Amino acid sequence: MFLRLLKKDLLVEFRSREVSASMLTFGLAVIMIFSFSINISPDLFRRFAPGLYWIMVLFIAVLGLHRMFSHEKEFDTFSMIISAPVERGLIFLAKWVSGVLFLTVAEILITLPFLLFLQVGIPEQWVILIVIILLGNIGIMAIGSLVSGLAMRAKMSEVLLPILLFPLVSPQIIATVQATTAVFDGKPLASWQLWLNLMITFALVFGLAGYLFFEHITEE
């Protein structure tokens, strides 16, 4: 059933391309603004790059989270889905996984321009960097899908979503930025093991919370 729900979310996005297209163009625009507004030497910039990268990711994630339920609101399809004899936690899991996939697709196309345009360069441990980025996405989208569900039916949901999300996601941002910085500096795993553990904990805790609470979020 989970796979059917996931297939549905992926097909809807594949047809409309709303989420990935908006994430991608917005990401590129942010990179341009970063390069215009930060006039420092590449060496110095490298120290800021992990933080800026995750600011950008968080912004495009918010953009995607806004659209997470948009097609289901327009024709009241959400009611159709929750009325089905399906465990509601699975609806959350499908949203979470599809959200991570959309964000990752957008990042695949944005990360390289970010590293090259801003003259950061590709770090040696780029495989580990990919793992960290994926873990970061998983955590951000876990709490993000949960908060998106809470804000979905509210007035001013576009304001409410980031206001609720940013403080809740702050430990995840600290952890991912620290881990990314460590990898940029080529530090051994032992020095950032803590941040790795924190990211995994965060994803597990809020993934589980979303799975358990979605039952109470879905109903109007």
- Using the CB atoms, write b or e for 141-177: b if 16+ within 10 Å: bbbbbbbbbbbbeeeebeebbbebbeeebeebbebbb
For residue 132, count CB atoms less than 10 angstroms from its CB and return exposed for 0-12, middle for 13-18, buried for 19 or more.
buried
Q: Does 21 bind another protein (CB under 8 A)?
A: no
For residue 110, count CB atoms less than 10 angstroms from its CB and return exposed for 0-12, middle for 13-18, buried for 19 or more.
buried
Applying CB under 8 A, which part among 46-54, 61-69, 126-134, 164-172 lies near another protein?
164-172
Residue 76 or 124: which CB sits closer to another protein? 76
Cβ 104 to another protein, closest distance in Å?
Answer: 21
For residue 197, count CB atoms less than 10 angstroms from its CB and return exposed for 0-12, middle for 13-18, buried for 19 or more.
exposed
How many residues in the shown chain lie near another protein by CB under 8 A?
58
Site string for another protein, 61-90 (x = CB under 8 A): ----------xx-xxxx-xxxxxxxxxx--
Nearest to 30 by CA among 5, 63, 1: 63
Cβ 69 to another protein, closest distance in Å?
Answer: 12
Q: Does 150 bind another protein (CB under 8 A)?
A: yes
Q: The tokens 């495989």 sit on which residue?
A: 127
Q: Name the residue type at position 84.
A: A
Residues numbered 90-149 forming contacts with another protein, rule: CB under 8 A: 143, 146
Residue 32 or 80: which CB sits closer to another protein? 80
- By the criterion CB under 8 A, which residues form the site for another protein? 1, 4-5, 7-8, 11-12, 15-16, 71-72, 74-77, 79-88, 143, 146, 150-151, 153-156, 159-160, 163-164, 166-168, 170-171, 174-175, 178, 194-195, 198, 201-202, 205-206, 209, 213, 216-217, 219-220
